[in-house]
Amino acid sequence: TWRSYYASIFNPARLKVKAMQAEMPKKYWRNLPEASLNKPLIEGAERAANAMIAKAATEPHKSQKRLEPVMPAKPVRNVDDIETLREEAAHCRACPLWKDATQTVFGEGPHTARIMLVGEQRGDKEDLAGQPFVGPAGQMLDRALEEAGIDRGKVYVTNAVKHFKFVPRGKIRLHQKPSTPEIKACRPWYERELAAIKPELVVAMGATAAQSVFGKIMPINKNRGHLMELGEMQALVTVHPSYLLRLPDAEAKATEYRRFVDDLKIAAAVLR
Ligand code: URA
């Protein structure tokens, strides 16, 4: 009976002789009643597997048929939580930027955030710290958010591209604008962050962020300063805080900073 059973459960389509021998070393074969079956089973495996393939699929026995669920199935949770995403993104190799960057810097903020701020990509400080907007651009952003009446602790802050792109210049790492393929390669992370956080408003800061958020090139000056419908949420476009840092003229800097704060006040009004 045992030998018949052994022969009947042998699956010729999954034959792995080495694994069989590892489980059952040849020196023990003479003590095992089923061992003498191995040779004919192995030799006939290819023919038996071909015969299985040639046969039409059979209907499962009535008792093995799956019952139709009486209750509706539980909805599948297909939205990730941010910690799972952060962990997954740490190993992202979707574009070559991971090679030179220190680490993936994922978004940060409460999962209940009603506003999501999107920047371009990490700067040097963020790359080292592993947190978004903690360098000079981050300080500028913090100041503007405060003036606009937005508590940074209540918004989710992320970037369109999660790795730092730069060219080395001596000891300095010079920021480089991400290319369209790099923005596209990183977009799935933004989409998954969006699905997890479900903000009411997304604020795209700068051209790279706007390209990722809208999925196309959006000129900033033409589109800034007003709310736009984007699927189930609203979107707002404004400049990137680094742009303000780069302006050489103090007067232009002050004017542009005011405009930036005014844009953020539109976001603040959404919260109210
Ligand atoms: N610039 C960005 O776009 N993001 C950061 O995190 C820092 C600077």
> pLDDT by residue (tens digit) across 17-66?
888 888 888 788 888 898 889 889 999 999 988 888 887 777 777 666 66
Q: What's the mean pLDDT in 113-136?
A: 93
Is residue 95 helix, strand or coil?
A: coil
pLDDT in tens, 126-159: 889 989 999 999 999 999 999 999 999 999 999 9
For residues 215 and 187, give the distance between their C-alpha atoms in angstroms, rounded to a whole number.
9
Tell how far the Cα of 125 is from the centroid of ligand 1, in angstroms. Answer: 9
**Integer angstrom CA distances of residue 10 from 27, 191, 216:** 21, 47, 57
Burial (CB < 10 A; 0-12, 13-18, 19+), residue 264, is: buried
Q: Which atom of ligand 1 is nearest to the CA of 240?
A: 3
Res 72 pLDDT > 50: no
Q: How many CB atoms lie within 10 A of CB 148?
A: 17
Q: Of 53-57, 102-106, 260-264, which gets the smallest average pLDDT?
A: 53-57
Q: Is the CB of 137 under 6 A from ligand 1?
A: yes
Q: Is the CB of 120 under 6 A from ligand 1?
A: yes
Tell how far the Cα of 263 is from the centroid of ligand 1, in angstroms. Answer: 18
Q: H helices then E strands: how many in the chain?
A: 12, 7
Q: What's the mean pLDDT in 80-98?
A: 91
Q: Which atom of ligand 1 is nearest to the CA of 160?
A: 3
Q: Is the CB of 132 under 6 A from ligand 1?
A: yes
